[in-house]
Amino acid sequence: MATQHVPSTRGSLVSVPAARQAYWLLRTVFTVAPILFGLDKFVGLLTDWDRYLAPQIDGLLPGTAHQAMLAVGVVEILAGILVAVLPRVGGYVVGLWLAGIIVNLLLVGDYFDIALRDFGLLVGALALARLAAAFDRPAPWARRR
């Protein structure tokens, strides 16, 4: 099987199979990871999630920090499902969600390393959204007739 190449904007060649593999790797991880992290908000096997909520944000939300983190878990599960179903939109949603997490972690003040890691994930989510524009088929309702 011959490798397909397409010209990039700078005149070099981009391998279509490699780009498609990168797309599927990102789509898989940004589907599975948010769902698993969201589910863990309910069982707490990985960590005590409540300690990651900034007091400033906790003060704005009704209920306890634990209840807020349960809501976060629901949002993360839904974001992972959105990436699975509609990665062109889901990549941007996950990117925005990660931006919110970064702001929260910076407000806490003790988790700069995790905030930096989440910035890397944010860039990956944006890369997924861009690759999805090339490799994901349009939704049936969005196809032109």
Q: Give the pLDDT score at 137.
A: 73
pLDDT band at 16 (very low <50, low <70, confident <90, very high): confident
| Helix count and strand count (H, E) for the chain | 5, 2
Q: How confident is the model at residue 5 (pLDDT cuts 50, 70, 90)?
A: low
- Please check the confidence at residue 12 and state whether its pLDDT lies above 80: no
pLDDT at residue 8, as a whole number: 53
Nearest CA among 104, 97, 65, 66 for reference residue 82: 97
This prediction has a pTM of 0.82
Mean pLDDT of 100-129: 96
Instruction: Kindly report, residue by residue over 20-61, the tens digit of the pLDDT.
Output: 999 999 999 999 999 999 999 999 999 999 999 999 999 999
Provide the pLDDT confidence category of residue 141 given band limits of 50, 70 and 90.
low
Q: From CA 37, how far away is CA 62, in angstroms rounded?
A: 22
Judge whether residue 122 has pLDDT over 90. yes
Q: Is the pLDDT of residue 83 over 60?
A: yes
Rounded CA-CA distance 94/60 in Å is 22
Residue 100, pLDDT score: 96
